[in-house]
Amino acid sequence: MRAAPIPVFDLYGEQSAKLPLDPVHIETIRARSRLHDWIIRPHRHGALHQVFWIRRGGGELTLENETRCFAAPFLFVVPPGTVHGFHFREGTQGHVLTLTAGFLAGQQAVLGPRGRLERISELDGRMLHRGQRRLAQAFRHLHGVFGEASPAREVAGGPARLAGAVLEVLGLLEHALERGGAGSGLPPRPALLVARFRALVDVEFRARGTLPEQARRLGVSATQLTRACRQVTGRSPLELLQDRRMLEAMRLLAHTTLGIGEIAYASGFSDPAYFSRFFAKRAGRPPSSLRRPPDRPAPT
């Protein structure tokens, strides 16, 4: 019997909505986790950015194929498409902020560098220093404004107040990332181009498009795209595409029981034998070595 693929949710545990999501959503950690015995199993979101703020408690974080412990205060940024899960200690307190890519794009002129949520980032108490009190206040304020600005209440000026509260949180977030050593410090134009390329690759990593075709879709030349990728990541566009295919293969190996050949095709490879050689060269071990023993459950 085949294991289910890694679930893709709008909000955890909810089927993808037919109507567009609210551009901003915030809730307490307790609100959703308590319904699932404080366990949020590995999943991902298609086009949603999330920021987790843990002010009390802790637990275990599963990120892609790794599981590790964390403790409050803890700040965690999850870009779209990232497999993540939590096993919170009962009573853990904090908030999770969810923003659509459309909201961030619409606020780009105001956000500037604060809109850079395309990378995984995390900060613990040693990095947050005294800024954790302001973060806690900003998240509480945003949560309150979110409730007041809901369509059902029709509060005058609600959307503007909500956007302002989001900007306050993102400003503190960017300041914390820079102070904690997690800021990129890169010019925004190349970084934005690479973020757009990554978004394209994330959707079409199985396709056989050429580099000039991909660059043309982004409105630049292949040379410009290559230069930006190397400047921002130190890797070529082809290497980033290969990274995405490897990531997909490792996700499927860790979280499904698909056969090696099926995983090869699902990860964008046309030849399972080549896939096995490529994987072994990149990972230093064959794909079969990532399989969990049948009696060992997946981490939660």
Taking only the tens place, the pLDDT of each residue in 220-250 is: 889 999 998 888 778 899 998 998 898 889 8
Residue ranges of domains in the chain, CATH in brackets: 24-179 (2.60.120.280), 188-290 (1.10.10.60)
Please write the tens of the pLDDT for every residue from 83-114: 889 999 999 999 999 998 777 777 665 565 54
pLDDT at position 190? 74
pLDDT at position 183? 40
Please write the tens of the pLDDT for every residue from 251-293: 898 888 899 999 999 999 999 999 999 999 988 889 988 775 5
* Residue 187 pLDDT class (50, 70, 90 cuts): very low
Ranking 47-61, 110-124, 265-279 by mean pLDDT, the lowest is: 110-124
pLDDT at position 140? 94
pLDDT beyond 60 at 181: no
Q: Which of 54, 3, 8 is closest to 33 using CA atoms?
A: 54
pLDDT beyond 50 at 149: yes
What is the rounded average pLDDT of the residues 166-177? 84
Between CA 33 and CA 9, with CA 45 as vertex, the angle to 5 degrees is: 60
- Model's pTM, two decimal places? 0.59
pLDDT at position 296? 47
pLDDT beyond 60 at 151: no
Strand partners for 8: 44
